[in-house]
Amino acid sequence: MIRLEKVSFSYDKQEIFRDLSLHVEKNEKVGIVGESGCGKSTLLKLIAGLYLPSEGKICVDGETDPARISRKVSVVMQAPMLLPMTIMENITMGHEYPAERIDRVCEEAQLSKWIGTLSEGINTYLGDRSDELSGGQAQRIAIARAMCKDAQIILLDEPTSALDAENTAAVLEALRRYTVDKTVVHVTHRPEHLKGYDRILKMEDLIGK
């Protein structure tokens, strides 16, 4: 399902890592842990087709073209990008989804209560307000977006880092239910968030193999 073979990546002439290899099977849940700055987020962006490797090969669900790969994955980054659109549009990203599906993912991502306090609700425009959103609100919108897309491959980068303990527990449980029949790569520095995963790997052990 996911194959990285001797992948190296450099950014602005600085090498981030060299000869990294990773194999993830279909429906496998893999957690990757490591210290901040070791390249965990970069690894996810490479898998998602957002970055191109300096060397090596990347194949995701049989695809090697980054544009094709990006259609097959859902990504939740630690600092998600929100666009100058409504909450609804940031979740659906131009796709048509049933209202029931949108309501469900908002509930699962712990967004519904906050949305209910807004005068425009889910149609609230974020263009002039996105800087006013908390990190937790932005992360929950990104989680709802990923759930709505419903890709087979889910990439998670510290998806609850800006949430309090109660919301973290609820969102992690929702993600566990949502990803039962999906392939997951979840990078974090908190191994306790990887309960029930098939494998937990150290970033350092993936390099040079």
Q: What is the pLDDT of residue 130?
A: 52
Q: What is the pLDDT of residue 10?
A: 93
Write the DSSP assignment of 80-121 as a string of letters. ----SSBHHHHHHTT----HHHHHHHHHHTT-HHHHHTSTTG
Nearest of 69, 59, 53 to residue 7 by alpha carbon: 53
How many folded domains does the chain comprise?
1
Domain span including residue 15? 2-206
CATH of the domain at 81: 3.40.50.300
Instruction: Give CA–CA dist 176/157, Å, rounded.
Output: 15
3-state helix vs strand vs coil in the chain, percent to 5 = 40, 25, 35
Region of 10 on the Ramachandran plot (φ > 0 left; ψ -120 to 50 alpha; else beta): beta
Q: What is the pLDDT of residue 128?
A: 54
- Name the 3-class secondary structure at 6: strand
Q: What is the pLDDT of residue 13?
A: 83
Instruction: Give CA–CA dist 202/190, Å, rounded.
Output: 12
Q: What is the pLDDT of residue 12?
A: 83
Quote the pTM value: 0.91
Instruction: Give CA–CA dist 45/202, Å, rounded.
Output: 18
Instruction: Give CA–CA dist 171/143, Å, rounded.
Output: 9
Q: What is the pLDDT of residue 36?
A: 81
Rounded mean pLDDT for each run of 10 residues along the chain, 209 residues in total: 95 90 97 89 95 96 95 91 92 94 95 94 78 84 94 94 90 92 94 94 85
Q: 188 and 158 in contact (C-beta within 8 Å)?
A: yes
Q: What is the pLDDT of residue 152?
A: 96
| Strand partners of residue 188 | 33
Q: What is the pLDDT of residue 51?
A: 94
